[in-house]
Amino acid sequence: MVMALFFPFIFWVVIFYLVAATMAIVRASLSINIDQDYPISSSVQLVGVKGLEPSLAPGAVSPAIGLLVRVDNGHIYDEYREGGGVTVSYAGVPLAHGHTPISFRVGAKAALTFTVNATAESVGVPEDLFRLMSTERRWGAAQLEVRMQLGWPGWESYAWSVDFDGYRLL
């Protein structure tokens, strides 16, 4: 008779501890990335700059900026991307445009590096922008903004700020 009274209590205590242990195991397993599957990351490096002088300067040429783009695939499977465009700006003013490869594949847990040559139709940069750029370079605060758009517009985009101070113009 006493056992009949305690059985429902013991039953619910055991069920409670089983559910609590299961929830703890599930929660702990969610925080552990067993597959080591991480998202894609990317970086850009400035490799060459030319033509960033005032547009009215004698011998001014069109801006040309060389970039080295690295895409790291942290996934455990290959990633395929459609090509796109790259825009290099300073203080919100576009200086040059370039294109990525038409399409590319990054292997599982691998990295891909490609170059982008961004150029412009115009000659030099506007005088006010050149003065701002020169001042910020002296302060050590000059940065180029690089935006890369892959695939259809709005599908996938990346943005970087690249230190420009101290970089020698070619």
Strand-pair category, 111-119 with 79-82:
unpaired
> Domain residue spans in the chain?
1-32, 41-163
* Per-residue pLDDT tens digits of the chain, which is 170 residues long: 555 566 677 788 888 999 999 988 888 776 666 667 788 899 999 998 888 888 777 878 888 999 999 999 988 889 898 889 999 999 999 999 999 998 899 999 999 999 999 999 888 888 899 899 989 988 888 899 999 998 876 688 899 999 876 555 54
The amino acid occupying position 100 is T
Instruction: Write out the DSSP string of 124-150.
Output: SB-HHHHHHHHHHHHHT--EEEEEEEE
What does the alpha-carbon distance between residue 114 and residue 97 come to, in Å, rounded to a whole number?
16
Q: pTM of the predicted model, to two decimals? A: 0.73
What dotted CATH number matches 41-163? 2.60.40.10
What does the alpha-carbon distance between residue 26 and residue 119 come to, in Å, rounded to a whole number?
53
